[in-house]
Structure 1
């Protein structure tokens, strides 16, 4: 009887500890990836591109410091958001990444799928300069650092699937679009790289 009571009390103590641990875990913040033009992360998740490492299971997790271009991930690590476990996204693979066909200067709707929407500052879209080095990892010097499309959210929470109509810049040949989703009430943003061809 005494032993049973001790075991019962021990069980209650373990249960209380488990409850305390589970309720102290912070809620997940926003996560998401671009679907048009399809990002490298989503190509990996779809299995369109092989040898992607961990990103194939979590294309929504390219989260790094916000403040791009003044701060944020280091040059050469923009597509992986500076996360070592996603370094495959920074490898240009000799131009082997599939590229979405776009028309220079045309209207286009950019879309994201957000697995965990969150209070948002804005979405911004950057593109590489004409003549950028396609064989080197993406850097700020390769990008036009004036976003060609900015969608302010002012702290609002977007839907799980969001669309941003805009106008494509004038470009020819192969380029990269860097989409940045800046979270309003954390120190982070999400970075998605899409290969495109005009």
Structure 2
């Protein structure tokens, strides 16, 4: 092994090898993969790669770069597009199932689902202040490895109307990372 390769292996941190995205309802990344949303950049080929630091909302991607996981190559996901991302119709206060496709499942701490507050600005980049402070669904996985297709059911908060954004967060158990997916919905 050359000295340059040995040095590179010391500098580049190992990744979890876990990847996944929400596909019901479709996330921005999934809409890009399907070609429903255009001008998406490389996320159209990598909807499963929106990986950033875990610990949301105390830690994680910076405000304004939450939908991209803080990754510059996926910055198109942070662009609110004037509130014109494709949406999925939901019913406020109703039960809903959220599904992920995990291309590389990994030991999992939890899945969490946050939603924007009433009155949030759908034409601005997502910030923590725009979200209800607590997730409306939390599924603890205790470090177990989920299957490739995983679903979680829960009740969508009542009192929501119009356009909202759901942030789905998949916390990996044995790394410092999580996967982030933004889902545009309309009540």
Q: TM > 0.5 between the two?
A: yes
| Bigger CA radius of gyration | 1
Contact 2:16 2:175 in 1 (8 A): no
**Separation of aligned partners in 2, 1:80 and 1:27:** 17
Structure 2 unpaired stretches of 5+? none
The equivalent residue for 1:4 is none
Match of 1:34 in 2: 22
Partner residue of 1:130 out of 92, 97, 118: 118
Look up the match of 1:110: 98
Is 1:76 aligned to residue 64 of structure 2? yes
Of 73, 76, 84, which aligns to 1:88? Answer: 76
SS in 1 for 2:31: helix
Residue aligning to 1:197? 186
- Matched with 1:47 is 35
d(CA) in 1 for partners of 2:15 and 2:125?
33
Asked if structure 2 preserves the Cα contact closer than 8 Å seen for 1:178 and 1:194, the reply is yes
Distance 1:100 1:193 in 2: 12
> Aligned partners of 2:94, 2:133: CA distance in 1, in Å?
20
Q: Against the structure 1 CA distance between its residues 86 and 27, is the aligned structure 2 distance closer, same or farther, given a 3 Å change threshold?
A: closer
Alignment check: 8 A CA contact 2:15 2:175 kept: no
Residue 70 of structure 1 deviates from its aligned partner by 0.3
- d(CA) in 2 for partners of 1:83 and 1:146? 24
1:41/1:55 contact within 8 Å kept: yes
RMSD of Structure 2 on Structure 1 (CA): 1.8
Normalising by structure 1, report the TM-score: 0.86
Displacement over 4 Å in runs of 4+ = 25-28
2:87 is matched with 99
Deviations 1:148-187 (A, max 9, x none): 0000000000000001011111111100000000000000
Structure 1, unaligned stretches of length 5 or more?
A: 1-12
What is the SS of the residue equivalent to 2:114? strand
Aligned: 1:186 with 2:152:
no
C-alpha displacement of 1:37: 1.4
Structure holding more helix per residue:
1
User: What's the counterpart of residue 158 of structure 1?
Assistant: 146
Normalized against structure 2, the TM-score is what? Answer: 0.91
- 1:3 is aligned to none
